[in-house]
Amino acid sequence: MKKIKLGWLLLLIISINLIGCTTYYFKEDLNSVMGLENIEIEKKIIYDEWGGLYGDKLLLEEYKLSDKTIADFIKNIETQKEFKYKDKTITWQKAPIVTSHKKALSRIIEHKPTDTELNIKIEQIKALIQTPNTYYSLAYEEKDDYVQLFVVDLKTKSLFAIDQQM
């Protein structure tokens, strides 16, 4: 009986630790994504949805950036629009989004999350990629089952980083 109680206690401790740990998928790569040496993050929020029979996932991270980071980003992309991100090239472009990316982008913007907050954020990003003062970049390969979208909203000083895998 004592072993069972100890087992339940251990399981409870592990569960509490797992719930309290939020890992940000993009945080370590933001410098290379934005082409900056230093990024000052004022606030970060993560939204995710895992599910489906095949393990589909949609992960969205929102970063509120400092005025300095936004100013450095704008100054940097005026002279250089391409940056190395892992084994891909990130190319930043001004919104509205170029039609050649619509197929890859549709996997994200046509996704209907069951999570209400995530759905609201996807709708917000749909509107952002059609408005001025917004920059975007897509990382994808036609043969792969993933798309990554990065959106910088200059008005709200926000960076949205989305990873979708199917």
Domain that holds residue 44: 24-165
- Is the pTM higher than 0.95? The answer reads no
Cβ–Cβ contacts within 10 Å for residue 130, how many? 10
Residue 14 maps to a domain: no
Contacts 24+ apart (CB under 8 A), 78-82: 80/35
Residue 16 maps to a domain: no
Place of tokens 């300095």: 68
Residue 18 maps to a domain: no
Asked if 57 contacts 46 with a C-beta cutoff of 8 angstroms, the reply is no
What is the total count of domains within the chain? 1
Residue 9 maps to a domain: no
**Which candidate, 48, 73, 46, places its Cα nearest to that of 137?**
73
Give tens-digit pLDDT for 113-138. Answer: 777 888 888 889 888 988 888 999 88
Residue 59 maps to a domain: yes
Residue 134 maps to a domain: yes
Give tens-digit pLDDT for 38-87. Answer: 999 999 998 877 654 444 578 889 999 999 999 999 999 888 878 888 77
Give residue 135's pLDDT: 93
Residue 89 maps to a domain: yes
Residue 43 maps to a domain: yes
